[in-house]
Structure 1
Amino acid sequence: MIDLRTLREDPEAVRASQRTRGESEVVVDALRSADERRRATVARADTLRAEQKQLGKQVGRSRGEDRDALLGRGKELAAEVRAAEADQAKADAELAELHALVPNLVHPDVPPGGEDDYVVLKEVGAPTTFDFEPADHLDLGTKIGALDTERGAKVSGARFYFLTGVGAQLQLALLNLAAAQATANGFTLMIPPVLVRPEIMAGTGFLGAHASEVYKLAEDDLYLVGTSEVPLAGYHAGEILDLSAGPRRYAGWSSCFRREAGSYGKDTRGIIRVHQFDKVEMFVYCQPADAEAEHARLLAWEEEMLAKIEVPYRVVDVAGGDLGSSAARKYDCEAWVPTQQRYRELTSTSNCTTFQARRLSVRYRDENNRPQTAATLNGTLATTRWIVAILENHQRADGSVRVPEALRPFLGRDVLTPN
């Protein structure tokens, strides 16, 4: 949730954020009105309760007709307090409903527009070229015994797959490389639960505009996570953290699940857009003043991983209309996919400022020992989709695939050869 103090002190900043996202400004004024109503009802209820308390003291000191009059007023006042508290409860509910509809305030430098209005910040490496007709990752993966999408569909349906033999080994090597890098940089490695309660899923912002992407187990009232960002965000829910020594950094290794609602007909071949995949995700709690610098660090760690798999990539500043509701700013790293002749997203990192932590009540103590809302950030270090870029960019004319040097100690081989 956004900070209501910002709404009160600078409503135009919230309106400007909505414009950058391409969303309605009407909700901003509706939220301001709800906030004013709620504060008015709180003030009235507090005033009446104070009067009721004072009246009680007077009753104890009074006698005769004065006491009877005060008791009569006490009954009237009790009814007024009940009505005021009912009004406050209604105002609380209205405010909460509208508050949940307003996404995070975007960073001032975020480009406006939608999915295609990103800004390319840099390109690293030249797009891979070959002196032969390159195969796509599915053909390559099938020939080297790494992928089986036909049996994946037979067992589970469309957008499911088996990683087989060297494919399973390649994914484990990739994720172990990411885990090793994370721990070397001070992250605590975590294997979190992949089923979470509704309040945790809602707290991270995934039950708003992206609710259709989430799998729900209705009988158990639990959600399957689409990223370990969700359980890691909930890990310290309701707590006050000690951030005096700097950010708390976690790296979550988990399976992830996405419904891919609305993607009918898109990326139906191979493993670019699937319902289940594995991922190592960085997650950080820090003081808000440190969030922007921490965001730059997360991006640098992602780029370090991309350099290790030796693929051309670019970094883009995602436009406001393509941000999730929790993100104030997001950078995507996109790798070159030769057979598609374009860059495809492999990883992203988001600065969620205090938006998630306010919902989940994650706080820290400032220099005056007063509780303040923490900031949260996330970023992907490796995921199943990276196999696409590795296979396609490192393929050879004979159908074999060169293993990037950094992966060789984890995989135990230099080349993946056709069966």
Structure 2
Amino acid sequence: MLSIDFIKTQTDTVREAIAAKNVDLDVDALLALDAEIRSAKTEIDQLRAERNRISGMFKDAAPDEKAALGKQAKDAGKRASELEAGLADKVAAYEAMMLQMPGIPWEGAPVGPGEEDNVVIRTEGTPRTFDFEPLDHVALLEKNDWADLSRITQVSGSRTYCLKGRLALLEQKLMAWALEEIMGNGFEPITLPAYAREDAFIRQGQFPGHREETYELEKDDLFLAGTAEVALTGLHSGEILEEAQLPILYVGYSPCFRREAGSAGRDVRGLLRVHQFVKVEQFVICQADEDVSAEWHEKLLGAAEKLLRAMDIPYQVIETSTGDMGLGKYRMNDLESWVPSLNKYRETHSCSTLHDWQARRAKLRYRNSDGKVVFAHTLNNTALASPRILVPLLENHQTEDGRVKLPEGIRHLMNGDEYL
């Protein structure tokens, strides 16, 4: 969300952001609606003042004047009520349009409508070449009895998974490892519910645009969250923090759920695109300073890269285009890990800076050194998400006999064993 004053004074910049992010929003209609609302509110205040003035005259008026004064007061009250009735619909329409207002993207972001416009800015590691016919992750799971994908489908439907044996243990240890690693960077670990109220999704920015991707618990007025960011954004919503409390650094762990609506036919095999997963998420609330935000963006991205390097997974860093980064993002970098069976990189991490766009929706504020209450900046980044990360981990480190050799950086998780 942007402030209406910014929209009025920086209209051309806002128009450019709307076009760059491919949003269907008429800024002129929004400004006209704002003017109508302001005018109506002013007239309502004037009519109420007039009614009060007339009422104050009534007791001292002559008997032959009271009928006329009564009619004037009644007419003023009736007109105010009519304006208020119409105003409610206009305010609702205005608020709905404001929720569609995109954040202003970083000037260095590639401009384009979708992921085909993303740019690779850096590649780390070399995709592995095999001197044998490699297996994909599903074949590795089956060969080693590390999952039961067919039976669990009978229980829970498509795009579900069930890990077994040492791989199930490794998944849990990877999540705990990611929590500890990010905690070492000064972040407070926090476990979070998998569900939240509708207003939490609005504050975070997922609603109204991505409602169809979210599981709804209709009887309880709750929704299942696809990221810990939903709950983390809401933790301090409505509070006025002191600048000395910033930055607030959380590393959240939660189960996550996504309906994957509109993704039929994409990545249906195995663990890449499932309905339920677990994720360790980095989240920052910091001062409303562009340089401070930029510094945290690099730290978040660097922390995720460190984990990928420890797992010895080749990856590339993506500068995400304006049309692919999402409504509220200022800047977004994806990390894409190499998947041998697909012969391409696939997104496993996403790092986002939102400036004050999210904070305005969530009312995340602090009192700065000048005593002024301002909106904070927020950032988030995946530290590790499973089972997606298991796909490149298994495939890149498989051996000719169908086993998986654990990278040295994570062998301590499995008591120093060389093989999974």
What TM-score do you get using the length of structure 1 for normalisation? 0.93
Asked if 1:411 is matched to 2:410, the reply is no
1: CA distance, partners of 2:224 / 2:415: 33
User: Once the 2 structures are TM-superposed, how far is the Cα of residue 313 of structure 1 from its aligned partner?
Assistant: 0.6
2: CA distance, partners of 1:7 / 1:306: 40
CA RMSD of aligned residues (A): 2.0
Cross-structure match for 2:265: 265
How do residues 10-409 of structure 1 correspond to structure 2 at under 5 angstroms? 10-24=10-24, 26-59=25-58, 69-113=68-112, 114-289=114-289, 290-384=292-386, 385-409=388-412
1: CA distance, partners of 2:62 / 2:370: 50
2: CA distance, partners of 1:162 / 1:90: 49
Q: Which moved more, 1:138-147 or 1:247-256?
A: 138-147
Output the amino acid matched with 1:340.
L
Q: How many residues align?
A: 416
Q: Which moved more, 1:203-212 or 1:5-14?
A: 203-212
1: CA distance, partners of 2:43 / 2:298: 47
Contact 2:21 2:102 in 1 (8 A): no
Contact 1:45 1:84 in 2 (8 A): yes
Question: What secondary structure does 1:321 align onto?
Answer: coil
Output the amino acid matched with 1:107.
W
User: Once the 2 structures are TM-superposed, how far is the Cα of residue 205 of structure 1 from its aligned partner?
Assistant: 2.1
1: CA distance, partners of 2:243 / 2:417: 43
Output the amino acid matched with 1:79.
K
User: Once the 2 structures are TM-superposed, how far is the Cα of residue 224 of structure 1 from its aligned partner?
Assistant: 0.6
Question: What secondary structure does 1:277 align onto?
Answer: strand
Contact 1:334 1:344 in 2 (8 A): yes
The percentage of aligned residue pairs carrying the same residue is: 37
Output the amino acid matched with 2:391.
V
Query: CA separation of 1:407/1:41 partners in 2, compared to 1, >3 Å: closer, same or farther?
Result: same
Contact 2:332 2:353 in 1 (8 A): yes
User: Once the 2 structures are TM-superposed, how far is the Cα of residue 311 of structure 1 from its aligned partner?
Assistant: 1.0
2: CA distance, partners of 1:334 / 1:383: 13
Q: Which moved more, 1:83-92 or 1:325-334?
A: 83-92
Q: Which moved more, 1:208-217 or 1:83-92?
A: 83-92
Question: What secondary structure does 2:111 align onto?
Answer: coil
Question: What secondary structure does 2:145 align onto?
Answer: coil
Output the amino acid matched with 2:94.
L
User: Once the 2 structures are TM-superposed, how far is the Cα of residue 30 of structure 1 from its aligned partner?
Assistant: 1.7
Query: CA separation of 1:68/1:366 partners in 2, compared to 1, >3 Å: closer, same or farther?
Result: farther
2: CA distance, partners of 1:180 / 1:115: 33
What TM-score do you get using the length of structure 2 for normalisation? 0.93
Gaps of 5+ in 1: none
CA displacement, residues 298-338 of structure 1 (integer Å, 9 cap, x when unaligned): 11111122112111111001111112223222110001111
2: CA distance, partners of 1:152 / 1:354: 43
Output the amino acid matched with 1:330.
M
1: CA distance, partners of 2:74 / 2:338: 75
Question: What secondary structure does 1:378 align onto?
Answer: strand
Query: CA separation of 1:57/1:185 partners in 2, compared to 1, >3 Å: closer, same or farther?
Result: farther
2: CA distance, partners of 1:220 / 1:380: 29
1: CA distance, partners of 2:412 / 2:61: 88
User: Once the 2 structures are TM-superposed, how far is the Cα of residue 63 of structure 1 from its aligned partner?
Assistant: 5.8
Gaps of 5+ in 2: none
Contact 2:352 2:380 in 1 (8 A): yes
Q: Which moved more, 1:378-387 or 1:91-100?
A: 91-100
Contact 1:176 1:410 in 2 (8 A): no
User: Once the 2 structures are TM-superposed, how far is the Cα of residue 348 of structure 1 from its aligned partner?
Assistant: 0.3
2: CA distance, partners of 1:190 / 1:245: 17
Contact 1:144 1:416 in 2 (8 A): no
Query: CA separation of 1:177/1:27 partners in 2, compared to 1, >3 Å: closer, same or farther?
Result: same
Cross-structure match for 1:3: 3
User: Once the 2 structures are TM-superposed, how far is the Cα of residue 80 of structure 1 from its aligned partner?
Assistant: 2.7
2: CA distance, partners of 1:100 / 1:245: 28
2: CA distance, partners of 1:60 / 1:411: 88
2: CA distance, partners of 1:204 / 1:286: 16
